[in-house]
Structure 1
Amino acid sequence: MSDELIDWLRAQIEARKVVAEAAAREGDNPVWQDGGEYVYADRDTYPGGTTYIAVGPWDGPVPDAVRAHLVLNDPRDVIARCRAELAELDMIDAIPHQRVEDDDWWSCAQARDERGELACGNDCRAGGPCDCGRDPLVSRLLRAKAYGYSHRPGWREEWRP
């Protein structure tokens, strides 16, 4: 389950990052700002001057909450958050199974040595299910992280935290 979940989650984050990078390239990574009634790209960073990002209906004002949301989710911010989320996924995926180097008998059944080979000295447990708690921890961390993307296609209810 963890491999499918991490692959799906990584794809969601990467897709979000690609869209934000494309939006940033449109205006040479402009800073989105609250213009009081609209959201605009900063004239100093957008080629050709100020460009409106969002205006209200029939040229009316953009509601306060919507303006605040847009400004807090400009492409720079989304790209930075996606990079952080991908780094977190890498860290979660790299959490090792417990290995007791002094006495491999006590190592997790799924512990690996530097060559990637099983390092559990207990032949009855070696290669069996994780018995150090790493897999349940990784599962909980991934489920919690993925829940923020539960509205996306491909989400499975079994991944709910």
Structure 2
Amino acid sequence: MASGEMLSWLRSTITAELEAARAADKVSPGPWVNRGQAGEGEAWQIHGALTDDCEAEWDEEKQDFVPIGVRVATLNYDDGGGVWEREAADHIVLQQPRDTIARCEAGLALLDLHQHEETSSVAVRLVGGKCQPFGCGICHEKDQIVWGEGICATVRLLASGYRHREGFKPEWVDG
């Protein structure tokens, strides 16, 4: 059944993203910041939070050494060597591990709202234009359309956000 396959794929995709964000947050806690360009070629430097063991760097303006925070992407060979385009550096900074963790937890909570405990699939049906008997409540309030094989529009929209990931099938979100 496509609904069970889609739900399983989506849950595992979100869980993998959550695990990666937690791992990144553990080794490079945020908030991540773009500290500007430095070094040969002027790569953009991304640093995380200040920690007890973070390095210091000379600050011309302050004429002193200042802590620089955990290295996320800087000119050190062991962390990837910086980011060569400002737009890419700014995008990386917007993908804070803590924000990704929150988004993944919200996505998994949405799946939990939609998953029927006995069948382990998204099992809803339309009665009077509303999801019954085990819809999400969101569908009840908004009178959302449920497309094919009993998958609520809310879950399909959540899945569409992962449409560029390996294993995605367009028919899961085409209504």
Give the TM-score band, short-chain normalised: 0.5 to 0.7
Which of the residues 53, 73, 83 maps onto 1:48? 53
TM-score normalised to structure 2 length: 0.60
Contact 1:33–1:39 (Cα < 8 Å) also in 2: yes
Which ranges in structure 1 are unaligned for 5 or more consecutive residues? 100-105, 113-132
1-structure distance, mates of 2:157, 2:82:
39
Which of the residues 19, 26, 39 maps onto 2:46? 39
Q: Does the C-alpha gap of structure 1 residues 78 and 111 become closer, same or farther in structure 2, counting only changes over 3 Å?
A: closer
How many Å apart are 1:139 and its aligned residue?
A: 4.0
How many Å apart are 1:134 and its aligned residue?
A: 5.1
Residue equivalent to 2:158: 145
- The structure that is strand-richer by fraction is 2
2-structure distance, mates of 1:60, 1:81:
26
Residue equivalent to 2:23: 22
TM-score normalised to structure 1 length: 0.64
Q: Deviations over 1:4-42 (max 9, x none)?
A: 111110100000000111111114x33211212311112
Residue equivalent to 2:98: 76
Q: Does the C-alpha gap of structure 1 residues 64 and 142 become closer, same or farther in structure 2, counting only changes over 3 Å?
A: same
- The structure that is helix-richer by fraction is 1
In percent, how many aligned pairs have the same letter? 30
Secondary structure of 2:151's match?
helix
1-structure distance, mates of 2:74, 2:11:
33
Letter in 2 for 1:17: L
